[in-house]
Each structure stands twice: as structure tokens, then as C-alpha cells.
Amino acid sequence: MDLRLDRFLCELNIGTRSQVKAFIRQGVVAVGGVPATNPDRKIDELSDTVTFRGKPLQYRRYVYYMMNKPEGVVSATRDNVSRTVVSLLGKDAREDIFPVGRLDKDVTGFLLLTNDGDLAHRLLAPKRHVDKTYLAVLAHGLGRPEIRRLEAGVDIGEERPTLPARVELLTEDGILREDKVLLTLHEGKFHQVKRMLQAVGNEVVGLQRVAFGGLRLDPKLRPGEYRELTAEELAALKDDCREV
């Protein structure tokens, strides 16, 4: 695939569009050992050898990051008011990276960021039923009747009830915590966890996504930290979004 030289350099975080054009004018960017002069020139990013100040640049078409999204950050590429998840990538940010789906500003946990639009579309497609697991802290305990309703599907004001969910009460120090649950969904409606708990007379006071598809949030990642997916994790994620 041909790519403009200036865009290639921007995606590798060499600088902004104006900065990389200046670098090219300064003669510090070379293609195939020859100093480049035109930022508009097309290159084959997979086969052409591009150097910046003598250092070879390696291009990867697709990147995949697992992030532990912190509270107060929006799941967007740009925002005029709040900090975005993409901004947390720092030097690894690229112009084409975006979050797969969204977590509300007050929700924390597993967020996938990539520039692979095809995979993102398949992961988010309703017919794929990719699991999403949340740790929810509730205003008060969840009783068995409410659990059965959630597991059967509840009316949240849409055309159809939610798909059946999986609910697991948690224990701490051997004590059952009825106000702390793991809720696994097979769809991704707007504010779905909060609306489902409201439908059974409860309220979410804290929410973290702990798993996406077959991948669990890396416990080593502190809020705001991220890492690349391993090859095995990426393969598992692609397997999760097979059509069923």
C-alpha cells in the first residue's frame, strides 16, 4: 500500500505534519539512501527503506494496545474539554489510532485501542456477541430474584429486552458481597450496565470493565497505563469475533 511520506513520518511520531515537512526540507529524511525532497511522494511503507537522521524507521500497519482506562478520561480521539484515552498513549499515539467502543467517563478498566478498523467493526458488530465483563459496585445488595431477572434479560426501554447476562456475586475474606458483582454481557448498548441495574431497582456506584472477549485486564496495568497485546492475545481476540 502506498503512503505519503509525510503521513508515514507522522504516524511514527517523528513530528507534526508541519514539523516533518521541515525535516524533509532540511534533508534529514532519506528513502532508499537518497535524501527526500518532496513530502507528498508516495512510498511503500513495507518495502521502502526510510531513515530519519540516519536511523532506520520501521513501520507497522496495525497496532493493538490494552489500556487500563482511568476515571475522568473520555473514550475518544479528540475532545475540546477533557483528556482522551488516545492522549495517554504519549509517544505511541498515531493519527489513525482509536478506541474500540467506549467506556463512560466515570468507568474504568479494559479498553482496546488500535488502528485496525476491520477488527474493530467485527468486535463491535451485534451479531458477534463478544463478551464484556464488568465489576460493578452497587448501592445495595443484589438478591436472587434480581439476579434471575438479569440472567433472563431485562427491559431497559428499548425495542427488545437485553440478552441474558451472566451474574456472579463476589466474596471478600470469605464473606459474600451481594453489593459487588461480576456482570458479563453479550452485547454493548448505551449505558447498558447502569440501565440494567436500574431496571431491577439498584444503582451502580462504581464500574470497571475487567475483560473484553477472552482477554482479561492485565492486573499489572495501573490506571492510565497500557501495553501492546501479545501475539497470543491478538489471536484469541480475533477468534472471539467469529460470526455465530
**What CATH number should be reported for the domain holding residue 203?**
3.30.70.1560
Asked whether residue 166 falls in the same domain as residue 208, the answer is yes
The pLDDT assigned to 94 comes to 82
Asked whether residue 116 falls in the same domain as residue 148, the answer is no
d(CA 73, CA 192): 19
The pLDDT assigned to 244 comes to 47
For the chain, the domain total comes to 3
Asked whether residue 186 falls in the same domain as residue 228, the answer is no
Asked whether residue 52 falls in the same domain as residue 72, the answer is no
The pLDDT assigned to 242 comes to 64
Catalytic residue among 48, 79, 96, 104: 104
User: Quick check: is 104 catalytic?
Assistant: yes
Helix (H, G, I), strand (E, B) or coil at 41: coil
Give the CATH number of the domain where residue 232 resides: 3.30.70.580
pLDDT at position 22 over 60: yes
| Strand residues in 79-193 grouped as ranges (E) | 98-99, 108-114, 132-138, 166-172, 175-185
Query: Where in the sequence is the domain holding 83, given as residue range(s)?
Result: 64-126+217-240
pLDDT in tens, 170-219: 988 888 888 999 999 999 889 999 999 999 999 999 999 999 988 999 99
Rg (CA), the chain: 22
